[in-house]
Structures are given as structure tokens and as C-alpha cells.
Amino acid sequence: MRLDDPHEEARRVLRLCNVCNYCNGYCEMFRAAERHRTFSDGELATLAHLCHNCRNCWQACQYAPPHPYAVNVPLVLAELRLLSQAELAWPRPLPHLGLLTLGVTLLPVLLVLLLVPGEVLFAAHTGPGAFYRVVPWGVMSLAAAIPLGWSVLALAVGVARFWRAGGGGSGAEMRAAAPEAIRDAVTLRNLDGGGAGCDEGYGSLSFQRKRFHHLVFAGFLLCLASTSVATIYHHLLGLEAPYPYLSLPVILGSLGGLGMIAGSLGLLGLKRGANPATSAPAAQESGRLLLIQLVAMAVSGLVLLALRDGPAMGILLALHLGTVLGFFVALPHGKFAHAPYRAAALLRAALERRKDER
């Protein structure tokens, strides 16, 4: 009974879910779906991003295969998340994102090997401005700013299209709903399976995914904070990197890096145990790519920190820079995009909830 087109399949399945309703304690997706009698593509995309892929509804479904109704909500919504992001993306998604990312990651290493004289690259540099003796500050900043700016623009266009396709909304409505949406995004309220924990593969429930995700997210924010503090040091206080081990940027960045490594490895481990019946292979792949990128960024940063006073600093700096650039390039078309799309979907849900209450 499963239909080939994910949009049509999602319509078929959610129509059935709306008649059944048994899963509406699990998450906002089901409660939001109940507001619709028909589903536009944009509404489906919003519902797809409301799904945090906890998979409890799959275990609980009385109509899951081998039942002839063949209901598999997590699978069709995972497919739809990818499809809708590709359809809404501007510019069109890049093919072979993994290879491209790998190339960008290794490019700075290649460039410093080619362009920086060996006696500079492999010398021990210490003191303020040590990094910039290998890669000048201006080059480093520009190399980061261009792909980041481009990616943020592309992501913004995609999310804006997503928001409009999901029904738009006035600024006042959005502001009013924002606190609830932020709460839901930060606490991952929809990744606790209605309070029971999430299915970790074959019916056993736990809060591991939520906790690992919290680690990754907190780690990412700490790294962002580290970079922001370093920017202030550089421009306002006139202090140049590298910073001492007990300085704020290093402490924030180190803690953030450790959080990202622990959380990402945890999530990668859970992915290995995931039930293939509910997993869209392409979604798994893009999730894995992001987690590997986060680990690579954090590990290369920490190794650079440890060995920055020695002769390997130049190569390590280029490698760390490469992992960051690779992350920036993959930003709008990889798994990272789920964050703003999901935040927008949670905003939509909060907004609709407020309308219901009125």
C-alpha cells in the first residue's frame, strides 16, 4: 500500500494517523497534523521537520508493516525532510557533498604546503600572532568569511521559503510564539517520546539521544562563544591568538570541543544500532557526515591546542582551518540545516497552538 512519492505517501499516512490519533501523546507532529484535513507540500514539510525521529510511533503503530496499511511515519517524514530541503534550497543542493567537504577540508593543508616556505611552516612559532605567521590573519578571515557568508545566505533563503510555504505569519505572531518555540528547540521537548524516552532501535527506550544531542548542541554553542570572545579580544582588546591555556577563549573552546566529541560519538554509536526499517539511508548518511565533521573540527582544534608550540603547528592549523571551512561549505545542504528548519517548524507549531487557545 506504500506509495512511491514521499508527498503522496505522507498524505496517505497522516490521513490515517489523524483518524487513529493514538500517537498524539508522543510529540507535536501528531498534534499539529490533527489541525489539517488536507496537506499542502509546505504543510507537509513543516510536519516533517516537527518530527525529531524518536521512532516511538513506529514501535507503537498497530498499522506498521506487515500490516497491509504499511504505516511508517518516521521513514516517510525523514524522506520528506530531505526532499523538502532540496526543493526549497537556493541555490540547488550540491551533489557529492561528502567528497566536496573532504576536498575543502584538505585544501588549506595543500595550500600551505605549496605556498608557505618550509622553514616558516615547520618552525616553532610562539607568542601573540604565532598563527598568523603561517596563515596571515587577513587570508584566514577572508577564507572563513566567504563560505560562511554564502552558506548563511543560502540557508536563510531556504528557511524563508520554508516558512512561507508552511503558511507564513505576521511579525507580531512570530514574536509572541517565539519563547515557546525556543523552549521546545533548546529542551528538545519532542525528543523524549512523550516522557517515556525514545526508541533506540528495537523497542528499548532511553533518553540517550536527547542527552547526546544536548552535548553536541552545548559544545557547539561553547565553541561559538569561544570564537566570539576571541574576536572581541582581537578587535577590542588588541590581544592576538594564540591565547593562554587559562584564557576564556581556550577554556570555552576546549569544553565545547570535548562536548561535541562526546555527543557526536554517542550519536554515531546510536545510529549504528538504529532499526533500518525507520531510517532513510540518505538522511543517515548526511547525519553521519555532520557528526564526523564536528568530531574532526573538535579533535583538530584540541590537537592544535596541545601541539601549538611545536613545529607541527602550521600543518595542524591548516587542517583545523580546513575542517571549519568544510563545515561552512556543507552548512546549507547538509544535516546542519535541520536546526533552523526545525526551529521554524517549532515556531509554526507554537503559533498554531496559540491560535487554538484563542
Binding site for another protein (CB under 8 A): 15-16, 18-26, 30-31, 34, 37, 56-57, 59-63, 66-69, 194-196, 203-204
Would you say 93 and 204 are in contact if contact means Cβ atoms under 8 Å apart?
no
Question: Could you tell me the smallest distance in angstroms from the CB atom of residue 44 to another protein?
Answer: 16
Question: Could you tell me the smallest distance in angstroms from the CB atom of residue 283 to another protein?
Answer: 23
Would you say 38 and 86 are in contact if contact means Cβ atoms under 8 Å apart?
no
Phi, psi of 206 (to 5 degrees): -160, 170
Would you say 31 or 320 has its CB closer to another protein? 31
What is the per-residue DSSP string for 143-211? Answer: HHHHHHHHHHHHHHHHHHHHHHHTT---HHHHHHHHHHHHHHHHHTGGGSGGGT-EE-SSS-EESHHHH
Placement of cell 504499511 in the chain = 70
Whether a cis peptide bond, with omega within 30° of 0, leads into 332 is: no
Would you say 22 or 245 has its CB closer to another protein? 22
Question: Could you tell me the smallest distance in angstroms from the CB atom of residue 12 to another protein?
Answer: 8
Question: Could you tell me the smallest distance in angstroms from the CB atom of residue 280 to another protein?
Answer: 22
Would you say 26 or 162 has its CB closer to another protein? 26
Would you say 319 or 349 has its CB closer to another protein? 349
Would you say 22 or 137 has its CB closer to another protein? 22
Whether a cis peptide bond, with omega within 30° of 0, leads into 276 is: no
Placement of cell 525521529 in the chain = 53
Q: Please state, in angstroms and rounded to a whole number, the distance separating the CA atoms of residues 24 and 340.
A: 24
**CA angle, corner 328, sides to 187 and 138, nearest 5?**
125
Question: Could you tell me the smallest distance in angstroms from the CB atom of residue 10 to another protein?
Answer: 14
Would you say 123 or 196 has its CB closer to another protein? 196
Question: Could you tell me the smallest distance in angstroms from the CB atom of residue 199 to another protein?
Answer: 10
Would you say 79 or 199 has its CB closer to another protein? 199
**Measured in whole angstroms, how far is the alpha carbon of residue 84 from the centre of its chain?**
16
Question: Could you tell me the smallest distance in angstroms from the CB atom of residue 18 to another protein?
Answer: 6
Placement of cell 598563527 in the chain = 131
